[in-house]
C-alpha cells in the first residue's frame, strides 16, 4: 500500500532508524554539538541525537507534522534530560530561501535561534527524504545555501533507501529516485565553488543494530564534508 505524499513524514521509515543506529554507535561524533535535521518527520533522529548533543534543530514543514514532532519530543524528554540536550522544533521549508521569523507563526525562528544555528552548527542530518526528484533538488539547494551561512566547517549525514520500482516509462524495474540522489551527490562534489569544498563518501554499514527494523542491503549512509576553500600560499617565485 502506497503512502500519500503529504503523509510520508508522519511515520518512522527504516532510513531514520538506520541513521539513529549510526548516531548511537558514533556518540562521540555528536557529543556537545549543535545539529540541524532537515525533513525530520517524527523527530526520531533528532531525539536520539539530543541524548548527547547540546542543541538539535528538528525541522520540517506543515503545522500538523511539526505539532506531532513537538509531542514526540515532549514524550521523550526524559531521554535527553540527563545529558542536557535540547530539541527545538522549527519550520524549515526547502522551497524558500529564508527562515520564517514571524512571531505569529508556530515553530518560527527567533533571532537568537538563527544566530545559534549559523554560529555553532557542525552536523546536518537527513533521513529518507529522497523519494521525489524535485524535493531532492530542493534539499541539496538548501544544504548548499546553509553551508555558505554556517560559521564552521560541517558534515552532512544522509540516509537513503535504494527503492526498486517497476515503471511504465521503462517497462522495467528501476530506482529512479535513488539514481537522482546519487547524481545530486556527484554534482555537489564536482561543484566549482570559490568558497566551499564538498567531499562525499559512503559510510560502511557494519555498525551494530540496536533498534528494531529490517536492515536491508538497500539502506545506505552518505557523508558530505563541507570545508572552506583555502587559497594556496604563493611561492617566492610566483608572489608579486
pLDDT tens-digit map of 7-38: 555 689 999 999 999 999 999 999 999 999 99
CA-nearest of 25, 19, 26, 23 to 41 is 19
| Sequence-ordered strand ranges (E) for the chain | 34-37, 55-60, 86-91, 121-127, 154-161, 165-167, 172-174, 196-203, 219-228
- Percentage of the chain beyond pLDDT 90 is 82
The mean predicted confidence, pLDDT, of the chain is: 90
Q: What is the pLDDT of residues 172-215, one digit of tens each?
A: 556 899 999 999 999 999 998 999 999 999 999 999 999 999 99
Amino acid at each position: 500500500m502506497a503512502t500519500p505524499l503529504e503523509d510520508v513524514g508522519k511515520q518512522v521509515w527504516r532510513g531514520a532508524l538506520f541513521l539513529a543506529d549510526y548516531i548511537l554507535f558514533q556518540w562521540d561524533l555528536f557529543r556537545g554539538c549543535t545539529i540541524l535535521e532537515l525533513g525530520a518527520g517524527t523527530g526520531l533522529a533528532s531525539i536520539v541525537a539530543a541524548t548527547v548533543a547540546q542543541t538539535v534543530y528538528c525541522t520540517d514543514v506543515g503545522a500538523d507534522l511539526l505539532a506531532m514532532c513537538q509531542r514526540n519530543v515532549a514524550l521523550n524528554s526524559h531521554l535527553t534530560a540527563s545529558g542536557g540536550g535540547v530539541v527545538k522544533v522549527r519550520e524549515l521549508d526547502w522551497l524558500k530561501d529564508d527562515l520564517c521569523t514571524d512571531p505569529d507563526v508556530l515553530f518560527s525562528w527567533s533571532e537568537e535561534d538563527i544566530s545559534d544555528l549559523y554560529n555553532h552548527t557542525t552536523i546536518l542530518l537527513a533521513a529518507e527524504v529522497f523519494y521525489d526528484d524535485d524535493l531532492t533538488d530542493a534539499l541539496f539547494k538548501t544544504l548548499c545555501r546553509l553551508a555558505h551561512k554556517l560559521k564552521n566547517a560541517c558534515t552532512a549525514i544522509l540516509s537513503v533507501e535504494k527503492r526498486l520500482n517497476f515503471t511504465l516509462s521503462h517497462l522495467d524495474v528501476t530506482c529512479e529516485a535513488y539514481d537522482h540522489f546519487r547524481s545530486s551527490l556527484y554534482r555537489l562534489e564536482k561543484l566549482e565553488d570559490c568558497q566551499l569544498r564538498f567531499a562525499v563518501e559512503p559510510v560502511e554499514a557494519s555498525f551494530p543494530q540496536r533498534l528494531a527494523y529490517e536492515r536491508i542491503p538497500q539502506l545506505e549512509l552518505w557523508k558530505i564534508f563541507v570545508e572552506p576553500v583555502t587559497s594556496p600560499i604563493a611561492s617566492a617565485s610566483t608572489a608579486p
